[in-house]
A and B are shown apart, each in its own frame.
Chain A
Amino acid sequence: MACPRYEEAIHELVDGTLGPIRRSELQIHLDQCADCRALLRDLERLRDLAGTLDRPIPPNRVWMQIAGQLQQEGRLQAPAPPPARTRHRTLLLAIAAAVVLTVGASLVYLLPRARPAGQAPDLAQTTAAPAPGNAAASGSVQGDIEAEFRQAEQHYQAAITKLEEAAKSDQNAIDPGTAAMLQKNLQVIDQAIAESRAAFRSEPTSAPARDSLFEALKRKVSLLQDTLALMNEMRKGNAEGAAQIVNGANKG
């Protein structure tokens, strides 16, 4: 175990902030103390390794959500009309941002975490067994909740339709191989949506079935957003950015 008297000095030596006099004193001690030498070596390794840790890159949708929210609050002014050749790109991004807002808003009443205080209770809670003698009222509540859920699903579908239209409008921006890979991923997600929807319809009060369907719909929205982001990168000629999107979509 390292000597407590010198531990702070060892940390400061690692930080590069140890003064010359204390450094000399520490060096004399290090020549004689294997435990302190081991501590210094380990702390230097930790420092070096910490400085090279990977930095995760936030998904593009985070910026789109931020921009959409601030525009909705009126805090961001719409940019000046772009030149014709970039107008399409701006339109794609605006569609994607609007879609994200639409989808997010539709979930407010159905996701407990996002629900403000005093709002309708969690679907899972209200789908519990109704109080005796209160079947009619419970049925009415259940009907309201299912109606809200159908509305939320419609919002998702509307968002997906918009994104698909935007993606199809500029298919030539993506090379055929990448387009085929994206199409294959979409088919897998569509299959998951169909299965989740069937499970939810057979068990409309099941929270896991509902969550599974929403998760699949979210995945589709996310993939379509990435497709639009990829088109933007291809248009800008940013091969590195495009490659990262493709790699991420292939893993997703």
Chain B
Amino acid sequence: MNGRQRDDRLAPSKLAVQASAVRSAAPASREEDRALIDRCRQGDAAAFEQLYRAHAGKLFSLTCRMVGHTPEAEDLLQDIFLVAHRKLDSFRGESALGTWLYRLASNLCLDYLRSRAARTGQVTDSLDDDEPWIPDASSRNLAERTVSKMDLDRAIAQLPAGCRAAFVLHDVEGLEHGEVAEVLGIAEGTSKSQVHKARIRLRALLAGR
């Protein structure tokens, strides 16, 4: 996976916040991914745990930012890896293993959000509002404000699910637009417009606090 590198260390520990840092280690090669998947397909528990340790951190980051830091995020993470193991035979190596897992994760997150919206009586065909976003011309810009990580996380939680997913994958997790498009099953141009829309909304949300 190209773009900005994230710190993928995963310490087997109770829920804790680990400050992210740009890491110089390269992601696993396609050959390494295929070898690992082959071992997983044979039921190798250690291999699947290795796969889990390598990817759970970033997938948990995605689920937490999509559905909130709730027990549901842990349940979704569990579901992601259970589904991944059951679908190992469908992984053909055409995309990177990380991209394939991100796709599983985003699909499960969006399905969960649709299901939650249906349970709470929200009637919508899409998780994005269809109203055109017109920023307030009088909004103050961010240069006049102090914005913390917590402020940004709160603002991200207010984004519509579709552009939230694109923003988290691109700006938070460091995927390129082509990878985001592959993960979300959209065109690359759509990925760009979703991320741009998210940024403009976040700017307005943070400036208007």
Contacts and interface: CB of A to CB of B under 8 A. Distances in A.
A165 interface: no
Contacts of B142: 41-42, 45-46
Contact of B49 (A67, A233, A245): A67
Interface in A52-93: 52-60, 62-63, 65-67, 69-71, 75-79
A244 interface: yes
Given A46-B203, A233-B13, A248-B14, A69 B19 contact: no
Contact of A240 (B11, B171, B177, B196): B11
A244 B20 contact: no
A50 to B, nearest CB: 4
A76 B48 contact: yes
Given A1-B135, A66-B52, A78-B45, A15 B16 contact: no
Interface residues of chain A: helix, strand, loop or mixed (majority): helix
Contact of B172 (A12, A43, A53, A60): A53
Contacts of A77: 42-45
Contacts of B43: 75-77
Nearest to A226: B14
Contacts of A70: 45, 48, 82, 85
B82 A38 contact: no
Nearest to A76: B45
Report the interface size class on chain A: 35 or more
Interface string B36-51: 0000001111101100
B149 A53 contact: yes
Given A56-B64, A59-B74, A245 B13 contact: yes
A47 interface: yes
B66 interface: no
A49 interface: yes
A42 B143 contact: yes
A125 interface: no
A54 B171 contact: no
Contacts of A58: 10, 15, 56-57, 60, 74, 77
B200 to A, nearest CB: 8
A51 B172 contact: yes
Contacts of A247: 14, 16
B14 A38 contact: no
B15 A47 contact: no
Given A55-B7, A57-B16, A229-B12, 5 more contacts: A43-B199, A46-B199, A63-B52, A70-B45, A75-B86
Interface of B: 4, 6-7, 10-20, 22, 42-46, 48-49, 52-53, 56-58, 60-61, 64, 69, 74, 77-78, 81-82, 85-86, 135, 137, 141-143, 147, 149, 152-153, 167, 171-172, 174, 177, 192, 195-196, 199-200, 202-203, 206-207
